[in-house]
């Protein structure tokens, strides 16, 4: 989920990214260049979901208690 911080700046999970729209296409600044929104989501969503799961205390507790 993208949360807007300011114009063109969004938080995606634990990452802060710059987003721009040119010619009707959404681009996300990563490192020294830009990725299309599709490329960005394909590349970064799995890692951000994993980070969220690691922070979930109920999941960690249930894994330790599971028999």
> What does the pLDDT look like over 38-54, one tens digit per residue?
999 999 999 998 888 77
Q: How many CA atoms lie within 13 A of 6 on its CB side?
A: 1
Maximum Cα–Cα distance for the chain, whole Å?
A: 55
Looking at 15-60, which runs of residues are DSSP E strands?
15-22, 25-30, 33-36
Q: How far is CA 50 from CA 4, 21, 33, in A?
A: 22, 28, 25
pLDDT for 65 equals: 61
Q: What is the SS3 assignment for 8?
A: coil
pTM score, whole prediction: 0.74
Q: What is the SS3 assignment for 43?
A: helix
């Amino acid at each position: 989920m993208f949360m807007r911080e300011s114009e063109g700046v969004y938080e995606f999970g634990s990452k802060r990214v710059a987003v721009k729209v040119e010619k009707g296409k959404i681009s996300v600044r990563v490192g020294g260049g830009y990725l299309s929104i599709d490329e960005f989501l394909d590349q970064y969503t799995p890692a951000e979901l994993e980070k969220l799961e690691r922070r979930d205390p109920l999941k960690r507790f249930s894994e330790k208690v599971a028999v």
